[in-house]
Structure 1
Amino acid sequence: MNAKVDITALPFVRLEKDQTWFDAIPGERLTIRVHSSETEGKFSIMESIAGHGTATPTHTHVEDEVFHILEGEVIFSLGGAISVLTTGDAIYIPGGTEHAWRNSAGTPARMLAFFSPGGVEQMFTEVAGLELPQIVELASKYGTVIVGPPIEA
């Protein structure tokens, strides 16, 4: 017998209609797909939509990170090596590795970012509207260290 299950009562279920999007760095909107509080801190997943020209400074953090490109094209610097990722591609960034990304393709890029362990997602909810010196200070509270400028356009 097939019993109906209320999926909203299950762990890790978040319906699209319930997602909250927010501004992060200039040109980027984020939503937290899975919060670390839902995984006992093991991981978190965020989705971003990055407009043309959006870029992160080169940085490190203790978390391992995987980016999966859902739409668009994004340039990544990983330990100084440059890669161009397009729809369907993924990149693994070991914790402690210098990295940055830039959308210079002329169209928005949509990405999923998986962090393990989780917890850093809270930083992104606090970064909107801050100037670089404030971002550097906030990031350091979450174990993220800005080590250089964004990738050149």
Structure 2
Amino acid sequence: MTGPTPSQSPDPPPIPPDDPQRRLTVAHPESDGLQRVALAGGRYTILVPGARTGGRYCLIDMRIPPGGGPPPHRHDFEEMFTVVYGRIRFTFRGEDVSVGAGETVNIPANAPHFFRNAAPEPARMLCMCTPAGQDEFFLQVGSPIDGAAPGEAAEAPQGAGRPRAAELAARYRTELL
């Protein structure tokens, strides 16, 4: 016999009241007001920072040039990617999978992984991390991009932020492998 499902539990906790301090967020990827960094050979735009979600999650727009992507790593939070255009090769626990436009990949917490744009054309993904914090890590490690058009190529070469990433990784619950 199994126990009750969450919807059948005898005394579910009450739903908290609405927090009027939290506002609706509408993210326009081409907006001048967003924070952008060059990182891992690509251009990352923080669409919805954790500060706007009470730390529950963050959403990052990743534009990945051919050859771009982070080194192998793992972290203690969930990470989900939806490919908007292009193809990305994900390596998850040592196994490769190629993912194209419209497909979504969820990386479980603590699992070793990385991704690479192995195609000859640029790719774009949306990345959601829960809880938030990866947005802050990227802002600390990446090279700020100010005043450039959102679609322009990344300004930092592949691997440019690795020394800073290694220095800050543990603070942001990440281990570089």
TM-score exceeds 0.5: yes
Deviation at 1:131, TM superposition (A): 4.5
Matched, 1:31 2:61: no
Structure 2 residue matching 1:95: 3-state secondary structure: coil
RMSD: 1.8
Deviation at 1:21, TM superposition (A): 5.1
Q: 1:96 to 1:71 in 2, by over 3 A?
A: same
State how far apart, in whole Å, the 2-side matches of 1:21 and 1:39 are: 16
Deviation at 1:75, TM superposition (A): 0.4
For residues 45-78 of structure 1, what are the alpha-carbon distances to aligned partners after superposition, in whole Å with 9 as ceiling and x for unaligned?
Answer: 1001011111211100111010000000000011
My pick for the range that moved more, 119-128 or 95-104, is: 119-128
Following TM superposition, the consecutive aligned residue runs of length 4 or more in structure 1 with deviations greater than 3 angstroms are none
Could you tell me which residue of structure 2 aligns to residue 144 of structure 1?
Answer: 174
State how far apart, in whole Å, the 2-side matches of 1:122 and 1:93 are: 19
Contact persistence 1:24–1:125 (CA under 8 A): no
Query: Which structure's CA Rg is the greater one?
Result: 2
Matched, 1:92 2:106: yes
State how far apart, in whole Å, the 1-side matches of 2:161 and 2:169 are: 12
Contact persistence 2:46–2:60 (CA under 8 A): yes
Contact persistence 1:24–1:124 (CA under 8 A): no
Q: 1:131 to 1:30 in 2, by over 3 A?
A: closer
My pick for the range that moved more, 56-65 or 126-135, is: 126-135
- Counterpart mapping for 1:72-111 below 5 A: 72-111=86-125
State how far apart, in whole Å, the 1-side matches of 2:165 and 2:93 are: 22
Contact persistence 2:37–2:45 (CA under 8 A): no
Deviation at 1:96, TM superposition (A): 0.4
Count of paired positions: 139
| Identical columns (%) | 29
Deviation at 1:134, TM superposition (A): 2.5
